[in-house]
Amino acid sequence: MATIEKPFRIVIVGGGLVGLTAAHILSKTDIDFVILERHEILTPELGSLLSLWPPTLRIFDQLDLQDTLEPVLNPVDHGVSMSADDGSILLSHGYGIKVVHRPLFVEALYQSLPDSAKARIRVKKHVVKVNVSDDGVLVECADGTVERGSIVIGVDGVHSRVRQCMQAMEEGRAAPSISETPKSPYVTTYKMVFGSMPIPPTLPKNVNHECASGRVSTQLLTGNSLVWFGVYEALDKPTSERIKYTEKDKEEVIKRWGHLYAAPGVRVRDVFGLQNGNFGMINLEEGRVDKWYWNRIVLVSDAIRKLEPHAGLGYNSGLADVVVLVNKLRRLLETTRSPDTKALEALFANYQEERGKEEPIVHAMSMRRARSYAWLSPMDKIMTKYIIPYTNFGIYSTNRIYGPVVSRAPILDWLEEKSNTKNVQIPYVHHPIDKGGKSKNALYRSGHRGCSYCSGTPVLP
């Protein structure tokens, strides 16, 4: 008698930024999925900034999201690095990225999903436990409901419950109770107060101002109609504790740093004074976890790495994780619709190996950027005040550090790319496979051989 293959089904835990983008990707495949999100509303309460780097815009092109997202994208044409203490300009430079207001971006991502994908998003589903068996997973929610599937993808952020359950099962112990606050695998060196508001008429549009000082920095970025601002402050001592800040904590930070510059002629107290008090205050964790998968469970995005946001790489990196994972899953499912645990673990290991190669560079870029504004050491200050402005460091880092990471960013290898990305300044290594099954790119055809990334040649000096 022929065996009936169980249809493959992914249970995604977390309907945040990367979970929603994963819904777009999976809705272009024939893979069944469900998304469990603990909140009732997907849109975040507070409107922080989100910068999107070119490889992410490439994926949006593949997902037919360009037109939907165009109205919410803000170009940033110019960058100004300043001293937060005296307002002097350290460096004025071209910028050329796109930023979005997070709530508008989430709304656009959600509204542009096909109805069939929207129907797969279950809200008010707080996942409390994940169980695995030989042929599937069972995910339990706080309201007593369960979801069954073939694998679980944990996209549930910094304090990932899926990660907690996975690590406990791998180590043969019980998962921490839901009321406990287990120690984070990440370390917080900086905290941040942030907010947004309409641009005051005195400020130029589409400029990113970043102001440096000892252990504190400010940022004020203007888009087409909004301004996003933040104060980054180093903690007295790095910590892995989870801290919830109060209104009083926020007011104290603003008061303490009110005199610092946020843009030419604009001080922190001026900006926060114009706003109606709707600020956020959070810890900016940094770090990564060692193992990204176990059995039928795999983690992506903030559940495996947390980057300080100055370089704006968190969401962009999380999306790249999903792209690589779905590429590999699609290939495996072409050979069997019901892969066993061994085949899935091998695929997840391969995913971690591929994405893990970028990790040291992405972390170094994010950490360096944060410390070049809120200096933690005399060397940080010397770099920002005396080396970067008077050398070609900016060009060097674009060409030798940022550029190679951009050029190696993954693409959905099975989905057409409509825009021509052949003649771009930093050529891309990866291109989608042509309909005929052949890759447009020689490096891709050769199994990535010859690429400095894949051959392990260091990119950083």
- The token pair at 98 is 């796109």
Q: How far is the CB of 302 from ligand FAD (least distance, A)?
A: 4
Q: Residue 41 or residue 387: which is nearer to ligand FAD going by CB?
A: 41
Q: How far is the CB of 311 from ligand FAD (least distance, A)?
A: 8
Q: Does 365 bind ligand FAD (CB under 6 A)?
A: no
Binding to ligand FAD (CB under 6 A) within 151-180 occurs at 155-157, 161
Q: Does 17 bind ligand FAD (CB under 6 A)?
A: yes
Q: Which residue's C-beta sits nearest to ligand FAD?
A: 16
Q: Does 49 bind ligand FAD (CB under 6 A)?
A: yes
Q: Out of 25, 27, 37, 404, name the contact with ligand FAD by CB under 6 A.
A: 37
Q: How far is the CB of 316 from ligand FAD (least distance, A)?
A: 4
Q: Residue 55 or residue 339: which is nearer to ligand FAD going by CB?
A: 55
Binding to ligand FAD (CB under 6 A) within 116-155 occurs at 125-127, 155
Q: Out of 31, 34, 51, 137, name the contact with ligand FAD by CB under 6 A.
A: 51
Q: Can you tell me whether residue 325 is helix, strand or coil?
A: helix
Q: How far is the CB of 214 from ligand FAD (least distance, A)?
A: 21
Q: Out of 147, 286, 302, 413, name the contact with ligand FAD by CB under 6 A.
A: 302
52 bridge partner residues? 98
What is the sign of the dihedral through the CA atoms of 379, 384, 390 and 393? Answer: positive
Q: At what angle do helices 314-335 and 17-26 cross, to 10 degrees?
A: 30
Amino acid in the structure at residue 251: E
Q: Can you tell me whether residue 92 is helix, strand or coil?
A: strand
Q: Does 195 bind ligand FAD (CB under 6 A)?
A: no
Task: Return the residue matching tokens 């997973």.
Answer: 137
Helices (H), 14-93: 17-26, 54-62, 66-69
Q: Does 404 bind ligand FAD (CB under 6 A)?
A: no
Can you tell me the distance from the alpha carbon of 284 to that of 232, in angstroms, rounded to the nearest whole number?
A: 9
Binding to ligand FAD (CB under 6 A) within 308-337 occurs at 309, 312-316, 318
- Sheet containing strand 121-122, strands side by side: 121-122, 32-36, 9-13, 151-154, 297-299, 293-294
In our burial notation (b when 16+ CB lie closer than 10 A, e otherwise), range 141-158 reads beeeeebebbbbbbbbbb
50 bridge partner residues? 100
Q: Can you tell me whether residue 256 is helix, strand or coil?
A: helix
The residue count of the chain comes to 461
Q: Are 149 and 139 in contact, with CB atoms under 8 Å apart?
A: yes
Q: Annotate each residue in 280-299 with x if it binds ligand FAD (CB under 6 A) or - if it does not, as one string.
A: --x-----------------
Which positions touch ligand FAD (CB under 6 A)?
13-19, 36-39, 48-51, 125-127, 155-157, 161, 192, 194, 282, 301-302, 309, 312-316, 318
